[in-house]
Amino acid sequence: MSKSVKVTKYLFVFLTCAAVFLMAACVITGFAVFMSRPERKTAAIWGAGSNSGYAHVAVYAKGARASGDGSPLAYTDDGSSLSVADIEGIRSSLQGVINQAARSGKKTKDKAATPPAWTDCYCSCLKGMVNSGSMNSGELFESDIYAVSGAFTSMHPLEFMTGGFLTSDTTDKYQVVLNDAASWSMFRSYDVIGKRICILGEDYTIIGVVREHEDNSSRVYISFECLEKFCSKLEEPVIPAVMSYEAILPEQSSKSAHFDLSGAIPGYNISSPSYRVVRITGRYNVINVFKDKAPSAFELPYWEERALKAEADIKTAAMVFAFGLVMLSGLVIGKAFSDRSYKVA
């Protein structure tokens, strides 16, 4: 065997191994990103034991801030913003769709009372200064303030270090849940249940601490009703805008939940959408990540920003995998022709 043939053989083996390693790394990376997303299985968890299929869908809307991130996202009457009144209309429309499907004989509900046939939540957020003591008696810390309502933890599974989450049936609305970064920044401890802090000029009792692995941002969760009261007391009162509305809906056919939510949004036009509607169930499918278009001019909650990054990571892994596959195919074909030419010679 000539020296050039040996070099070619070794080069072929090296490049083949490199291509296989590259493809394997892409598969592992893509799978790891997929498995890290808790929202990928929220609909399956909700629908466990049901004969109905469920899908997690969301709509992201716009708003206006008077003075940057430190002011609340305010409702604007321009066809791109959602208020709590709009959410009630969406809920009514979705319930009508579900009731109509039930009357037509399509099974949407086989759980008698708990949980109901579907569930939802909504939120808004702003940046603000949080005081680590009641009546502004402690130190000030900047934090993201998320005002939420509904079944938030059904859409966003949280890892509780201590305590629990906000509930709609409590008589004391001024309760707060901290993430681990906020708890540690303010108290250098996670054992903070029962302590009181001041947010947006009001005292809140801490009822829970959640661990969030993906960043070190300080974050607190309060009731949306408290945000509404804060907005009503401003020098120029505003109606708080809903940044994100999410629902887990029964799905009668492929992607029907996405269609049902889109149809329930007031003034929604699919040809020129003013809102971003996302089918979260199945969004990390390799094909779907290439279909999803990056949003523009939308202020998004942290979990959607993370989801978009995960989509981008999966898309990159898929493209690199495709490159490795093409490279491997080219090497195999080239080797076949080379061997054939060598035998002829």
Q: Are residues 146 and 206 in the same domain?
A: yes
Q: Are residues 59 and 179 in the same domain?
A: yes
182 SS3 class: helix
Q: Are residues 197 and 340 in the same domain?
A: no
Residue that terminates a domain, selected from 230, 250, 283: 283
Question: Which residues fall within 8 angstroms of residue 212, CB to CB, at 6 or more apart?
Answer: 159, 179, 180, 181, 219
Residue 107 or 161, more confident: 161
**Residue of 219, 232, 187, 226 whose CA lies nearest to 203:** 226
- What is the domain extent for residue 33? 3-37+305-344
Q: Are residues 99 and 167 in the same domain?
A: yes
Whether 43 maps to a domain, the answer reads: no
Report the domain count for the chain: 2
pLDDT confidence tier of residue 331, bands split at 50, 70 and 90: confident
Q: Are residues 160 and 257 in the same domain?
A: yes
Lowest mean pLDDT across 77-86, 161-170, 176-185, 267-276: 267-276
pLDDT confidence tier of residue 53, bands split at 50, 70 and 90: confident
Q: Are residues 332 and 207 in the same domain?
A: no
User: Residue 141 pairs with which residues in a beta bridge?
Assistant: 130
Q: Are residues 215 and 326 in the same domain?
A: no
Q: Are residues 189 and 330 in the same domain?
A: no
Q: Are residues 135 and 112 in the same domain?
A: yes
Whether 297 maps to a domain, the answer reads: no
pTM (2 decimals)?
0.88
Whether 251 maps to a domain, the answer reads: yes
Q: Are residues 88 and 236 in the same domain?
A: yes
* Residue range 274-327, pLDDT digits in tens: 899 999 999 999 999 998 777 778 899 999 999 999 999 999 999 999 999 998
**Residue of 256, 251, 258 whose CA lies nearest to 276:** 258
Q: Are residues 121 and 205 in the same domain?
A: yes
Question: Which residues fall within 8 angstroms of residue 315, CB to CB, at 6 or more apart?
Answer: 289, 290
Q: Does residue 338 have a pLDDT over 80?
A: no
Whether 62 maps to a domain, the answer reads: yes
> Which amino acid is residue 191, in one-letter code?
D
Whether 293 maps to a domain, the answer reads: no
Answer whether 55's CB lies under 8 Å from 251's CB: yes
Residue that terminates a domain, selected from 232, 248, 283: 283
- CB burial of residue 102 (10 Å; 0-12, 13-18, 19+): middle
- CB burial of residue 293 (10 Å; 0-12, 13-18, 19+): exposed
Q: Are residues 83 and 212 in the same domain?
A: yes
Residues in the chain: 345
Whether 289 maps to a domain, the answer reads: no
Whether 272 maps to a domain, the answer reads: yes
pLDDT confidence tier of residue 27, bands split at 50, 70 and 90: very high
Whether 292 maps to a domain, the answer reads: no
